[in-house]
Amino acid sequence: MSAVLWTVETMAKVMNGRLVGNHRAGVSGLSIDTRSLIEGEAYFAIKGDIHDGHKFVANAHSAGAALSVVSEDWLNRLDGETGPLLIVDDVLEALVRLAVASRARSKARIVAITGSVGKTTTKEALRTALAACGKVHAAVASFNNHWGVPLTLARMPEGTDFGVIEIGMNHPDEITPLVKMARPHVAVINNVAAVHLGAFKDVDAIAHAKAEIFDGLEPNGTAVLNADDERLPLLTELARQKGIKNIVRFGESAEAEARIENLVMHGSCSCLTAKILGDDMVVKVGAPGRHIVQNVVAVLACCKLVGADLARAALALADMKPVKGRGQRHKIRVGSASITLIDESYNANPTSVRAALALLAASVPKTRGRHVAVLGDMLELGPTSSQLHLGLADAIVENNIERIFLVGPEMKALESALSGKAEVTHVSSVDDLIPLVKADLRDGDILMAKASLGMRFALLIDDLLNTGSAES
């Protein structure tokens, strides 16, 4: 039996719930999805965008749930037996209460991370670094919204030394309640860029929304800001207005307190000297790319601020690996071609596509191999979407990408912009793309694929990984 995360008695008390049926003394974890539920966990019947979790309570119990947290409303409509229940007014609200109780019982130092790009990558790097120094708790995936943040907090074991919480947003006033649950000692804003511009007037408006992360900072907490970001002055001003006294800046700029000094980028890693809040260090970063190094100096600043051993944290980063869909590399054989696949299929916006093109350019193909970029539409960019897509032309040319595949209506404009500068093919969907790419690949090629999640590039990646035999 795994360790008890919460006693059922405590859950009922903090969630203001009523117990029905025979239940165990404690639960080993919390689940909101019966397909991944592990025996002994409590199931929370949350209402999602598509399904109401109450539909799956019976599945939860057949999967071995210790109990299900359900709403009074649903119970009234129920006929028949379903197993042990904890009945509350509103399931999400109950999860939030448990999250608040979890934070209150914890002695962990908490870091909250927001920003336009790289939150999950930074969260994973921070997890790797802090794991060398104590017990770390962070979400298994990008759980950064109105249910992800409370779920992550409520799942934090009592003996945690360091908690890492990713906080995302699509519109104003989304971060404030989430950060007030997390009450971080350190709050990071990775960067501010044109992402989800749909809900915002301009990028400054995004900066204002990101600055909501200061609303929940613990007294005497520290804001960690990107020294190289155009909106550093605005964020600094907003932090000051919200009464934040401690600001640490990270990046390449000379004024950064967590500073990249000398940087050498290799195909599969980066090496740098850095000064982190007064400490000189040599750091090897196990995943390539300048953008990863940016995240890493923020991570090292956080480690120092939460009292972790900086040397241990830095050593651990040598073994960090790119996160799935965010730069993961595979050596595969497609037909007679032996190629390297860089899987950036998780998401795309102008900032991360530029970073990925630079990453591709920094990788050196074997003789006769080419740099191949497969770029799909960047979604949710609002009225300036066409300009933002066209704006990628310079980055493609600067990085000397020899072969380009463009996918989707928004990418169409780039085709003519690049004509004569690279070999370009445009198609309308990933289904049309797959056979063309496979037929085009040559031995030694490095292929980087990037698009918004809705462009379904995972199909391309899966197809290449399944048909291409893996090579070591």
Ligand X SMILES: Nc1ncnc2c1ncn2[C@@H]1O[C@H](COP(=O)(O)OP(=O)(O)O)[C@@H](O)[C@H]1O
Q: Which of 11, 60, 67, 117 binds ligand X (CB under 6 A)?
A: 117
Question: Is residue 270 close enough to count as binding ligand X by CB under 6 A?
Answer: no
In the complex, least distance from residue 326 CB atom to ligand X, rounded to whole angstroms: 4
What tokens appear for 305 in the block?
């601020």
Quote the crossing angle between the two packed helices 203-210 and 232-241, to the nearest 10°: 40
CA dist 270 and 358 (Å) reads 13
Pick the stretch among 198-206, 340-348, 377-385, 455-463 that binds ligand X (CB under 6 A).
Answer: 340-348
Site for Mg ion in 129-148 (CB under 5 A): 142
The sign of the torsion formed by the CA atoms of 191, 196, 198, 199 equals negative
> For ligand X, which is the closer residue by CB, 60 or 182?
182
Question: Is residue 326 close enough to count as binding Mg ion by CB under 5 A?
Answer: no
Q: Which of 116, 120, 128, 363 binds Mg ion (CB under 5 A)?
A: 120
CB-based contacts of 131, cutoff 8 Å, min separation 6: 316
In the complex, least distance from residue 347 CB atom to Mg ion, rounded to whole angstroms: 8
Question: Is residue 405 close enough to count as binding ligand X by CB under 6 A?
Answer: no
Q: Which of 121, 128, 270, 385 binds ligand X (CB under 6 A)?
A: 121
> What backbone torsions phi and psi does residue 33 show, to the nearest 5 degrees?
-140, 115
> What backbone torsions phi and psi does residue 40 show, to the nearest 5 degrees?
95, -5
Q: Which of 68, 351, 363, 452 binds ligand X (CB under 6 A)?
A: 351
CB 57 within 8 A of CB 43: yes
CB 430 within 8 A of CB 376: yes
CB-based contacts of 53, cutoff 8 Å, min separation 6: 32, 43, 44, 45, 46, 47, 91
Q: Which of 31, 68, 120, 452 binds ligand X (CB under 6 A)?
A: 120
Pick the stretch among 41-49, 113-121, 290-298, 417-425 that binds Mg ion (CB under 5 A).
Answer: 113-121
Pick the stretch among 36-44, 147-155, 346-354, 418-426 that binds ligand X (CB under 6 A).
Answer: 346-354
Question: Is residue 71 close enough to count as binding ligand X by CB under 6 A?
Answer: no
Query: In 144-237, where do the E strands start and end?
Result: 162-166, 186-189, 222-226
Site for ligand X in 125-184 (CB under 6 A): 142
Pick the stretch among 38-46, 118-126, 214-222, 374-382 that binds ligand X (CB under 6 A).
Answer: 118-126
CB 449 within 8 A of CB 460: yes
Pick the stretch among 113-121, 180-188, 229-237, 420-428 that binds ligand X (CB under 6 A).
Answer: 113-121
> For Mg ion, which is the closer residue by CB, 143 or 405?
143
Question: Is residue 119 close enough to count as binding Mg ion by CB under 5 A?
Answer: yes
* Single-letter amino acid, residue 154: A
Site for ligand X in 173-232 (CB under 6 A): 190-191
Question: Is residue 119 close enough to count as binding ligand X by CB under 6 A?
Answer: yes
> What backbone torsions phi and psi does residue 406 show, to the nearest 5 degrees?
-115, 140
> For ligand X, which is the closer residue by CB, 41 or 229?
229
Question: Is residue 347 close enough to count as binding ligand X by CB under 6 A?
Answer: yes
CB 180 within 8 A of CB 218: no
Give the strands of the sheet with 469-470, arranged side by side. 423-427, 403-407, 371-376, 446-450, 337-344, 328-334, 469-470
- Residues near Mg ion (CB under 5 A): 119-120, 142
Binding residues vs ligand X (CB under 6 A): 117-121, 142, 190-191, 291, 294-295, 326-327, 344, 346-347, 351-352, 355-356
